[in-house]
A and B are shown apart, each in its own frame.
Chain A
Amino acid sequence: MATTSPSRRPAAELVKDAAYSALIALALAAPIIGLQTVTARGGLGLNARWDDVFLIVLAVFAGRLLLNFTIWRHQGARPIGQKWFQRAGGRPFARHGHTLSKIIGPLALAVALLLPALPFSDRYVMDLSIMVLTYIMLGWGLNIVVGLAGLLDLGYVAFYAIGAYSFALLATHFDLGFWICLPLAGILAAFWGVILGFPVLRLRGDYLAIVTLAFGEIIRVVLLNWYEFTGGPNGILGIPDPTLFGLEFARRGDNTFHEFFGLSYSSMHKIIFLYYIILCLALITNFVTLRLRRLPVGRAWEALREDEIACRSLGINTTNTKLTAFAIGAMFGGFAGSFFATRQGFISPESFTFIESALILAIVVLGGLGSQVGVVIAAIVMMGGFEYFREFEQYRMLIFGLAMVFIMVWRPRGLISTRSPSVILKERKAIGADLVGQGHG
């Protein structure tokens, strides 16, 4: 380290640097930590906590000074954290992306399949896993639109909502079961994906983001205000549970799961069943995406992300390419929505706010656009992190924000930024036979 820059920085400069850091800490901490809103008589009151702010500023000053005089002494100014991360993490995923995903994939799959049998899997762990898997599935679905086709969609939650309401309405009005409604919800969501797709065909980047954002809000506002149809803010109650070949997961009934298999009733049966449903749905999403990437339509999505003009000059119909990306992405969002509705048993527009879209998009971006394994890691880290830091209450979002900033400093293109080629030519024969069967869709 000392060899790169042998000159020692003068002590006065180091103190000044620490003072600047303390000043930044003051500016940040004063409004965030220094002022707390409390419910007082006659409305909201402010509670000042200047002693906490003072402690934080002092800690930052002392810490920065200590670092400046010890490990940073010889290195001159540099952006916070850069070198640290490089030394600590290197570029672990970038260099070994391929081998890593080869090991992680099967390992994660094995853990996921065996999870309900593991000793620490209680009700809480299973519920959390179901939630994480839902977000993984949503992340994979959005990955088709954003990661592969490069169409920035800020309203993905709309399709999640459409899937959930499709199932809830079909089930409560027509008494249809989960397994019949699931494909219907997917088809309806895909249909709305195409409806969104048409007006935004000519848009890209920021403009597309704004329109999709508005679309997400329109769907939510319609759900909120169309009282007669959707129940408005009261939502829909009494959405049925899924059944296993007609077997119900209820304590009493004509055809219950525990009686059929001669088990004593346990509420965990249903949870484990739900867990396997979402695991299957997520794996189907992943499998379909990976297959599509190798087919002409998937390659067209990726080419579209890279260069739309070049696509047209190669005879690719960019209209169809965009619409299929929207439709297939939306379809998986709809599946996930159906599952959400059956798991909760109750849905209302409150579950489908913009923050959900932002969260799913954050999972895709942090994971690395287009990377399937990256989505899994990001979903586990983010949703798991949310749960883990629950006791920190209002500091949770602070930690979350900080973590995001650090990830973006450390890996600006997401955790897994390398794109694995959809085809690697090793033998002429192998690729030839593979391609002949494909044709163009």
Chain B
Amino acid sequence: MNAASPLLSVRGVETYYGNIIALRGVDLDVHVGEIVTLIGANGAGKSTLMMTICGSPQARTGSVTFDGTDITRMPTHEIMRMAIAQSPEGRRIFPRMTVLENLQMGAGVTDLSHFDEDLQKVYELFPVLKARRNQRGGTLSGGEQQMLAIGRALMSRPRLLLLDEPSLGLAPLVVKQIFAAIAELNRTEGLTVFLVEQNAFHALKLAHRGYVMVNGSITMNGTGAELLAREEVRAAYLEGGRH
């Protein structure tokens, strides 16, 4: 792959739910080693874009390309085997399975020869998961479940990590901890991250670049710092909302 071309590239994507349009021609790029965030209000289409990248629902027009391969029409499970991993919205861990089993499910589809090594890495990143490894997933706190969802995604050794609202319903301190872990992964492993967030302040501070989505279209993009400084962004997403 040539260094300039993006790892993930979304071009002119339109997605519909039945006859209702949810994405109106979205263009977006994520380059290797970047943290890119997508912010926007409720119902703007952030999660729909995330789901469209994963192929469920599929884009009606436009294309999604990962590492030079067109994945627009691929079934979800095949996309998720292409070194893309997702921590889905609402965490969606397996509640009756233990923490260890949850992590195992994350590693399940790839070569298992480095399972131990990856497990230790996840435990180092989130030590609480090690302490709770034989506990059922459903008994974890919200923050721990989010850590488990991210850890589970990391077990497949992804090149691109998709995070859908990791701060949802979590205490500020826990959000900080999780975002710090994402930053560390990016810094030490060079992991590429695409982050969909409502918590604009934290997300823009963390990300190298950001996109703002309104009503199914990208209205602004720039570096995290740039967007944070812009008046429209502050007014719409940040004022009174530093949480």
Q: What is the interface of chain A, defined by CB distance below 8 A to chain B?
A: 296, 299-300, 302-303, 306-307, 309-310, 312-318, 419, 421-425, 428, 431-432, 435-436, 438-440
Contacts and interface: CB of A to CB of B under 8 A. Distances in A.
Interface string B72-114: 0001111011000110100011111110110011101110110
B115 interface: yes
B97 A314 contact: no
A292 to B, nearest CB: 14
Contact of B77 (A302, A307, A316): A316
Given A312-B76, A438-B112, A423 B92 contact: no
Contacts of A315: 77-78, 80-81, 108-109, 156
Name the residue among B75, B112, B113 with the largest chain A CB count within 10 angstroms.
B112
B117 to A, nearest CB: 9
Contact of A314 (B78, B95, B105): B105
Interface residues of B, number: 35
B86 to A, nearest CB: 5
B205 to A, nearest CB: 27
Given A300-B108, A421-B134, A435-B104, 14 more contacts: A299-B108, A300-B105, A313-B88, A315-B108, A315-B156, A316-B109, A317-B75, A317-B77, A423-B101, A425-B134, A431-B115, A435-B112, A436-B112, A436-B113
Contact of B93 (A302, A310, A423, A424): A310
27 contacts: A299-B105, A299-B108, A307-B92, A307-B93, A307-B94, A309-B88, A310-B88, A310-B92, A312-B76, A313-B54, A313-B86, A314-B105, A314-B106, A314-B108, A315-B109, A318-B77, A421-B97, A421-B98, A421-B100, A423-B100, A424-B100, A424-B134, A425-B133, A428-B116, A431-B115, A432-B115, A440-B110
Contacts of B136: 419
Contacts of B95: 306
B8 to A, nearest CB: 16
B56 interface: yes
Name the residue among A299, A315, A316, A431 with the largest chain B CB count within 10 angstroms.
A315
A421 B101 CA distance: 8
Interface in B108-130: 108-110, 112-113, 115-116
A313 B112 contact: no
Contacts of B115: 431-432, 435-436
A431 B116 CA distance: 8
B152 interface: yes
B109 A440 contact: yes
A306 B92 CA distance: 9
Given A313-B92, A315-B156, A419-B96, A296 B77 contact: no
Interface of B: 54, 56, 75-78, 80-81, 85-86, 88, 92-98, 100-101, 104-106, 108-110, 112-113, 115-116, 133-134, 136, 152, 156
A423 B77 contact: no
**A-B residue pairs, 10 tightest by C-beta:** A315-B80, A310-B92, A306-B94, A315-B109, A315-B81, A432-B116, A312-B76, A313-B86, A317-B77, A421-B98
A438 B115 CA distance: 12
A428 B115 CA distance: 10
B46 to A, nearest CB: 16
A312 B56 contact: yes
Name the residue among A312, A428, A438 with the largest chain B CB count within 10 angstroms.
A312
Given A306-B94, A432-B116, A436-B112, A314 B80 contact: yes
A435 B108 CA distance: 10
Contacts of A312: 54, 56, 76-77, 80
A432 B85 CA distance: 22
Contacts of B156: 314-315
B9 to A, nearest CB: 21
A148 B101 CA distance: 15
Contacts of B80: 312-315
Nearest to B87: A313
Name the residue among B96, B115, B134 with the largest chain A CB count within 10 angstroms.
B96
A312 B75 CA distance: 9
A265 to B, nearest CB: 53
Contacts of A306: 94-97
Nearest to B102: A303
Contacts of B106: 314
Contacts of B152: 314
A94 to B, nearest CB: 13
